[in-house]
Amino acid sequence: MTEPSDTALIVIDVQNDFCPGGALAVAGGDEVVPVINTLMQNYDSVVFTQDWHPSDHVSFAANHEDAEPFSSIDLQYGAQTLWPVHCVQGSAGADFHADLDTGRAQMVVRKGFRAGIDSYSAFFENDRQTVTGLHGYLVNRGISSVVLTGLATDYCVAWSALDAARLGLDTTVVLGACRAIDLEGSLAKQIDAMRHAGVVLRDSL
């Protein structure tokens, strides 16, 4: 069944580095691909996001002396988790999963390309002020409802969903089309945050 024209499917970061074998692999990350490919057939509006980091990105543990991946530092915009080097611009790891039907995407939002600031959300970078332009695009397309899928549930999907709800969009996350990192209880925390914000959580559509 085709979804209403004012609803967009947003596919978050289904990239090689977040899938098994990747630099920041999410367990079962590749399992979302066939589910998302099926969902996309029901939407007139489909947006992809793509992590797109320079090699000197501030979020990479390798760029901080003696820092370990998954530790945290304080930056001018707040706490920043340090990650393994991943999704470097132009690398194979930054490419979308080979089986993802990329031809369905009408827009690709690249995020995290500024070296000094990370970007989880599809709408705002982590300073919570710098916009990606996605909201303006959706408004101009007459989109008032979004359905989110992708990687990872507790980071880029959750941050995007929380921002979408805050911006007044009717927001649904399809948990069956997402997979989580679950770093120190992050999944349960973000599930609670999304529910509290009015995000609809569904196992499937």
**What pLDDT shows up at residue 110?**
97
**What pLDDT shows up at residue 4?**
77
156 in active site: yes
CATH of the domain at 41: 3.40.50.850
C-alpha span between 28 and 26 (Å, rounded) = 6
Residue 31 lies in a domain: yes
**What pLDDT shows up at residue 188?**
97
pLDDT in tens, 84-131: 999 999 999 999 999 999 999 999 999 999 999 999 999 999 999 999
Q: What is the dihedral of CA 46, 187, 28, 96, to 10 degrees?
A: 30
* DSSP single-letter state for residue 4: P
Q: Which of these is catalytic: 17, 87, 111, 163?
A: 111
Residue with more model confidence, 183 or 143: 143
* DSSP single-letter state for residue 121: S
Residue 73 lies in a domain: no
Name the amino acid, one letter, at 205. L
Q: 184: burial class by Cβ within 10 Å (0-12, 13-18, 19+)?
A: exposed
Q: Which of these is catalytic: 17, 30, 118, 156?
A: 156
Asked whether the beta carbons of 6 and 143 are under 8 A apart, the reply is yes
Number of domains in the chain: 1
C-alpha span between 31 and 35 (Å, rounded) = 8
Residue 81 lies in a domain: no
Q: What angle do CA 157, 162, 166 make, to 5 degrees?
A: 145
**What pLDDT shows up at residue 17?**
98
pLDDT band for position 1 (cuts 50, 70, 90): low
Cβ within 8 Å of residue 196, ≥6 positions away = none
Q: Any idea how long the chain is?
A: 205
Asked whether the beta carbons of 94 and 111 are under 8 A apart, the reply is no
Task: Please give the average per-residue pLDDT across 161-174, as a whole number.
Answer: 98
C-alpha span between 96 and 138 (Å, rounded) = 22
| Residue in 9, 15, 7, 4 with CA at minimum distance from that of residue 151 | 15
Residue 155 lies in a domain: yes
pTM of the full predicted structure? 0.96
pLDDT band for position 205 (cuts 50, 70, 90): confident
13 in active site: yes
Q: Is the pLDDT of residue 202 over 80?
A: yes
* DSSP single-letter state for residue 92: G
Residue 70 lies in a domain: no
Range of the domain at 19: 7-52+87-202
C-alpha span between 33 and 174 (Å, rounded) = 13
pLDDT band for position 66 (cuts 50, 70, 90): very high
Proportion of the chain above pLDDT 70, given as a percent: 100
Give the DSSP per-residue string, 22-51: STTPPTTGGGHHHHHHHHHTT-SEEEEEEE
Q: Is the pLDDT of residue 16 over 70?
A: yes
